[in-house]
Amino acid sequence: MSDDGYPSDGITSISTSTVPKHQHGEETPSMNFDYLKYNFKSLSRQASHENLASLSSANAEILERRFHMPNEEGLQHLKNTSPVVSKKFHKVLIANRGEIAMRIMRTAHELGLKTVAIYAYEDRLSMHRYKADESFQIAPEGKHTPVGAYLAQDDIIDIAIRRNCDAVHPGYGFLSENADFARKVEAAGLKWVGPKPETIDALGDKVKARAVATECAVPVVPGTDGPIDKLSDAHTFCNEHGFPVIIKAAMGGGGRGMRVVRSADELDSAFERARSEALSAFGDGTVFIERFLDRPKHIEVQLLGDGQGNIIHLFERDCSVQRRHQKVVEIAPAPTLDKAMRDAILADAVKIAEHVNYRNAGTAEFLVDSRGHYFIEINPRIQVEHTVTEEVTGLDLISLQLHIAAGWSLPDLHINQDRIQLRGFAIQCRVTTEDPAQGFQPDIGKIEVYRSPGGNGVRLDGGSGYTGSIITPHFDSLLVKLTCSGATFEKAR
């Protein structure tokens, strides 16, 4: 038997053993058939590692081209991958649900880590619960609202401690940009898979992030100097700068707490709706106002830092196709961005990250029009659309997040800016339950038929999309993310 309780040959029996009850949990089958699949993959990887020493020089050259590494260093990198992170920690709690929880579990299992899922009572049939090694209801039925359960910081940390977790991965949304939660996680002796709490304070709040960008001489969209609490302050800004303007939640993203105002008649109601929505979605009703740019390109840069002074970018994504300020289609790299503009945006993104000694994964977002580019925010977390960056760089961002949280530096991982190369294009679209006949309102009910695409260059990141799935009205309408890649934009399209 290995140290983690699995047979030493890496193959786990297909049993339905149960895990102990948590105070608010229930016995949950551990889905060992998933481990069978992952452990076969690990066996294959291990066999490959053992054969690396006998690679011919021709094969070593192929490795060098494939991984953009010198021969010896490339071989050593492959020998030192997935099993090593488990020496730092062995179990991670995923403080999220649905698609992103399952995405994190997939990589964690490949790295030899055990996973703990959490779920609200209303989410007890969600697939992510069954994909984890252990899963626990966050609190008794009725203690929290369905969304409020995933914001219950103390209850979530209590589960992580009781289940002897070593780390907490917040995914995106919910508590992923909550500095207080990050501090509580670290105060409990757990690793936080994300930026330092003080970095979240500086960049997770869009108002503070604008101030950081200004310090770095990075251009920003004209806006209020800080958060505004009074409607009279909103009127003062609009009287000075004119319309249209956009009201934004200082915390969070995904289009929530965001309203475009095109005339003074709309300002009062839009201001109150934005504050109310931000408070409901993120637990913070702080808003600010910017000039609204009509039809700009929305370009974002994937950043990666180790908190030890090493910052790189993984190029950019075009997220201009949106509905109600929520991204619908994402493309990497941006197909219509000229080289000069691309270089300027990438340099400014890295400049901001270096200013705060950024740690882990994050995304710097910009608006681009005919006059130039303007910084709007940094999302200090993994993004929904990280898949397209993975497809064009060949890197697993979740794996890099976990390694950095375990204390690895980018040099330890043999990663530097010169070795990040683009390969083709990738396009992601989000498949949701929204009903176009009802103005794209989220739909609910049971999925009777589900057929998914496949083939070369097709990737599916699923959550609730499968035949028989029950879709409730309580959570985001995302079912699955479809990512297609190819050597050219047309082939990816």
Mean pLDDT of 65-69: 41
Residue tagged active-site, from 259, 381, 419, 493: 381
Q: Are strands 297-306 and 311-323 parallel, antiparallel or unpaired?
A: antiparallel
The C-alpha atoms of residue 119 and residue 32 are separated, in whole angstroms, by: 20
Query: Which of 254, 395, 255 has its CA nearest to residue 246?
Result: 255
> What is the rounded average pLDDT for all residues in the chain?
83
Q: Give the bridge partners for 327, in sequence order.
A: 322
The C-alpha atoms of residue 376 and residue 412 are separated, in whole angstroms, by: 32
pLDDT band at 223 (very low <50, low <70, confident <90, very high): confident
**Is 451 annotated as catalytic?**
no
Q: pLDDT at residue 166 above 70?
A: yes
Residues 228-238 have pLDDT tens digits of 888 999 999 99
**Residue 211 CA: distances (Å) to CA of 143, 202, 206, 346:** 39, 9, 9, 19
**Residue 231 CA: distances (Å) to CA of 242, 247, 263, 289:** 15, 11, 15, 11
The C-alpha atoms of residue 193 and residue 101 are separated, in whole angstroms, by: 13
What does the pLDDT read at residue 35? 33
Helix (H, G, I), strand (E, B) or coil at 114: strand
Q: pLDDT at residue 23 above 80?
A: no
Q: pLDDT at residue 43 above 50?
A: no
Helix (H, G, I), strand (E, B) or coil at 209: helix
Name residues whose C-beta falls within 8 Å of residue 297's C-beta, 6 or more positions apart in sequence.
Answer: 318, 320, 334, 336, 337, 367, 368, 369
Check if the beta carbon of residue 424 is closer than 8 Å to that of residue 492: yes
Query: Which of 394, 441, 455, 386 has its CA nearest to residue 422?
Result: 394
Q: pLDDT at residue 15 above 60?
A: no
Name residues whose C-beta falls within 8 Å of residue 187's C-beta, 6 or more positions apart in sequence.
Answer: none
- Whether this prediction's pTM lies above 0.85 is answered by no
Q: pLDDT at residue 5 above 50?
A: no
pLDDT band at 253 (very low <50, low <70, confident <90, very high): low
pLDDT band at 86 (very low <50, low <70, confident <90, very high): low
What does the pLDDT read at residue 487? 97
Peptide bond into 219 cis (omega under 30): no
The H or E element containing residue 206 is: helix 206-215
Residues 439-489 have pLDDT tens digits of 888 889 999 999 999 999 999 998 888 899 989 999 988 899 999 999 999
